[in-house]
């Protein structure tokens, strides 16, 4: 059986992920929710600059149109 992209996101719920945005900003946090537009909610989110912590963001909503990729952290 072939997995679909949303199947992979479902498996990542509750896990730490790394999100790269179109403006080349990296965000790391625990994936708590997503929708069909790939808007995602992260808890304990942190902004990264070159892999180093830049800012603690807490709980955030990222708009799907700004996301380049989501990867296990």
| pLDDT digit string, tens, across residues 18-73 | 999 999 999 999 999 999 999 999 999 999 988 899 999 999 999 999 999 999 98
| The predicted structure's pLDDT at residue 2 | 84
CATH code given to domain 5-64 = 2.30.30.100
In sequence order, which residues have a C-beta less than 8 Å from that of residue 57 and are 6 or more positions away?
27, 29, 42, 45, 46, 47
DSSP-assigned letter for residue 53: E
**Model pTM?**
0.91
pLDDT, position 3: 84
């Amino acid at each position: 059986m072939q997995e679909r992209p949303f199947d992979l996101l479902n498996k990542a719920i509750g896990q730490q992920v790394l999100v790269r945005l179109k403006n080349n900003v990296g965000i790391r946090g625990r994936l708590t929710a997503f929708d069909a537009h790939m808007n995602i909610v992260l808890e304990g989110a942190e902004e990264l600059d070159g892999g180093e912590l830049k800012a603690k963001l807490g709980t955030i909503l990222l708009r799907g149109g700004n996301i380049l990729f989501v990867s296990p952290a």
